[in-house]
Amino acid sequence: MELDKKNKAWRFTGLLYEREPKKNPDGTLGDPPSLGDGPGACGGCGDDPQVWRLIQAGSPRLALARASGIAIVPLVFNIRAMFPDTSTVDVPTVGMEGNQGGSPYRLVQDCLFDSFMFRVQNESETANLNQFQAESDYYYNYQGGIEAILSVEGQPRYTVVSHYTPLSTIADAFNGNSHWPYGWILKPNQTLLMSFHATVPLPTAPMEVICSFRVWTTASDGDVPSNRQAFEQLCDMGYQVPAGVITQLCR
């Protein structure tokens, strides 16, 4: 997506499609390009690139929140895995941490996931045994040999990390400028699952792995609009959304 400065319009490029602006007989540019021809499309043109990025990422509801000025706030949730003794090698299929009442945590709105953090926490008798133990535990985070698989369950369902991979490698792949495009969308009908494997024997136990995910979601207490309702409101604000995109995200 790029800004056509002469026509003051945002054009989709690469991921979707681009249409050249009309030209007058004298060679000058005429009307701004129409990205929304066809059934279900709209006229006008929004000018916030962050709105377009959220649409491209797959969440017209977060795009509408951005365009409407609704607060988008951070949210952190955890996946925890416990290695109870040094003979434990695998901790299979752990879901998102439950709330204080014990109910499994679930998303209630679209969330933009953009950061992954982890800590391997020594909870044995050796923890804080001396002034050097904390330093040793810190470096164990990165060279302790604990690896993980990460998958998304729900609709759609897919595997993000299909083979056991070091936790530090997963974090490097998801954080900073290494991911496209500024994270990806998790929806209310989706959840994260992880499996863990110790490739080398644990030095002490119990040892707890805490994986934290930072997401961004709306702080609104109102009703959450459907994708189609969000597109309708975006169109009223002047965001030209191609009909094919509307059809794809409103199935």
| Whole-angstrom distance, CA of residue 165 vs CA of residue 156 | 23
pLDDT in tens, 149-174: 999 998 889 999 999 999 999 998 88
Mean pLDDT along residues 190-206: 94
Residue 34 pLDDT more than 50? no
pLDDT in tens, 57-94: 889 999 999 999 888 899 898 999 999 999 999 999 99
Mean pLDDT along residues 222-232: 86
**Rg of the chain in Å (alpha carbons):** 23
CA angle 194, 199, 205 (to 5 degrees): 80
The alpha-helical segments, DSSP class H, found in 164-212 are 167-174
Mean pLDDT along residues 41-66: 81
Q: Which residues, listed in sequence order, are joined to residue 151 by a DSSP beta bridge?
A: 159, 193
The mean-pLDDT minimum among 82-91, 147-156, 192-201, 223-232 falls in 223-232
Please tell me which residue, 28 or 108, carries the higher pLDDT value: 108
Per 3-state DSSP, the chain is made up of helix, strand and coil in percentages (nearest 5) of 20, 30, 45
Which pLDDT belongs to residue 38? Answer: 39
